[in-house]
Amino acid sequence: MNISIAEALRSAGQILDRAGVPEARREAGSLLSFILGKDRTFLISHAEDQLSEDAVRRFREYVERRAAGEPLQYITGVQDFFGREFRVTPDVLIPRPETELLVEAAIELSGPGAFICDVGTGSGCIAVTLLREIDHARAIAVDKSPAAIEVAKLNARNLSVADRLEFLVSDCMDALDSNRYQFDLVVSNPPYVAEAMMAGLQREVRDHEPLVALSPGPDGLSVIRRLLRDTPIFLKANGHLIMEIGFDQGETVKELIDDDVWRLVEIKPDLQSIPRIVVLRKK
Ligand SMILES: C[S@@+](CC[C@H](N)C(=O)[O-])C[C@H]1O[C@@H](n2cnc3c(N)ncnc32)[C@H](O)[C@@H]1O
């Protein structure tokens, strides 16, 4: 059957719209761009081109998956983060724009050769980006999920930092030895969604992203508490802990900080002015 790019996009946009997908037309364009290996400008300038049978079949399949709630990034297998392309699978959280603010804060505080630990590395987006941005930095990337560690390893290889990055499957920092590892910086985007909030998440997130990456249990704070408690022995004098927190956790996290151990440098707001990135210095 002959279908033009314009017709395929129109019909896919309607299907996605009816399925409640936000920015339906745009998502349809992203899926077709991915299948054709061309950018959006091509879709516009070649709107009347006929699609091959194979492209039509794949496009239908992908549109069906997207209409059923699967995130675009799990279908295409990629997500941009800090200007680089990361591979993602359903074993890892899709990197978010607010986490780029954590990376910016970490870069501001790090000099060449910094030694960094990324707790809950997921796709590896934080650790890999820091190694690309900070000269001669080295890092350990930790995750409880062995499947996530495999994705992070792939990204480290694809982005040419594998020789400066070690991986460890570990529950927080339990498998690390503080006699062997002393870091300048510990970074983490931990799971922080409270159990009761899970039902209210977008279906793309709730039904498709890994639960272990989203919620650590009832109040959403258990990994944050462990980071505050466990990282000091792994930090050099004046070393930093930088963590991302949930949209409503700023005041609670302030109360959890032990002033004898930490100096709260700042809690950076995200683009919606929500306190998001907690920067602490070991006293
Ligand atoms: C919110 S995701 C962050 C992933 C990635 N760092 C990012 O920013 O996109 C949290 C990650 O922490 C991992 N995780 C959850 N609980 C953990 C624990 N107790 N110890 C180590 N990693 C954990 C999850 O598997 C997941 O990859």
Percent of the chain past pLDDT 90, that is, above it, reads 99
Range of the structural domain that residue 93 is part of: 78-282
The CA distance from 277 to 105, in Å, is 8
Residue nearest to atom 27 of ligand 1 (CA): 122
The domain boundary, picked from 47, 68, 89, lies at: 68
171 Cβ below 6 A of ligand 1: yes
- Index of the ligand 1 atom closest to the CA of residue 190: 10
The domain boundary, picked from 68, 90, 123, lies at: 68
Q: Which residue has the tokens 């919620």?
A: 215
Q: Hey, what's the torsion of the CAs at 272, 148, 154, 209, to 10 degrees?
A: -50
66 Cβ below 6 A of ligand 1: no
Do 148 and 48 share a structural domain?
no
Do 13 and 55 share a structural domain?
yes
- Index of the ligand 1 atom closest to the CA of residue 92: 27
Do 242 and 104 share a structural domain?
yes
Q: Is residue 137 part of a domain?
A: yes
Query: Cα(3) to centroid of ligand 1, in Å?
Result: 43
143 Cβ below 6 A of ligand 1: yes
Give the pLDDT confidence of 193-218 residue by residue, as tens digits.
999 999 999 999 999 999 999 999 99
The CA distance from 159 to 156, in Å, is 5
Q: Is residue 154 part of a domain?
A: yes
191 Cβ below 6 A of ligand 1: yes
Tokens of 107: 């870069």
Do 174 and 200 share a structural domain?
yes
The amino acid present at 250, given as its one-letter code, is G
Give the pLDDT confidence of 115-174 residue by residue, as tens digits.
999 999 999 999 999 999 999 999 999 999 999 999 999 999 999 999 999 999 999 999
The domain boundary, picked from 43, 68, 93, lies at: 68
239 Cβ below 6 A of ligand 1: no
Q: DSSP character for 144? A: S
Do 28 and 161 share a structural domain?
no
Whether 1 shows a pLDDT value over 90: the answer reads: no
Backbone φ, ψ for residue 280 (5° rounding): -125, 145
Q: Which of 117, 125, 144, 209 should be mutated for ligand 1, with most atoms under 8 A from CB?
A: 144
Angle formed by the axes of helices 5-18 and 53-67, to 10°? 20
**What is the pLDDT at residue 283?**
95
pTM above 0.85, yes or no: yes
Do 175 and 120 share a structural domain?
yes
103 closest CA partner among 131, 70, 79: 131
Tokens of 4: 């033009």
Q: Which of 145, 174, 215 should be mutated for ligand 1, with most atoms under 8 A from CB?
A: 145
Query: Cα(117) to centroid of ligand 1, in Å?
Result: 13
Residue nearest to atom 9 of ligand 1 (CA): 95
Domain total for the chain? 2
Do 59 and 172 share a structural domain?
no
Q: Is residue 209 part of a domain?
A: yes
Burial profile 20-48: b = 16 or more Cβ within 10 angstroms, e = fewer: ebeebeebbbbbbbbbbeeeeeebeeeee
The amino acid present at 20, given as its one-letter code, is G
The amino acid present at 260, given as its one-letter code, is D
Q: Which of 92, 165, 229, 231 should be mutated for ligand 1, with most atoms under 8 A from CB?
A: 92
Q: Is residue 73 part of a domain?
A: no
Strand 84-87, strand 115-119: pairing:
unpaired
| pLDDT bracket for residue 74 (50, 70, 90) | very high
The CATH number that applies at residue 234 is 3.40.50.150
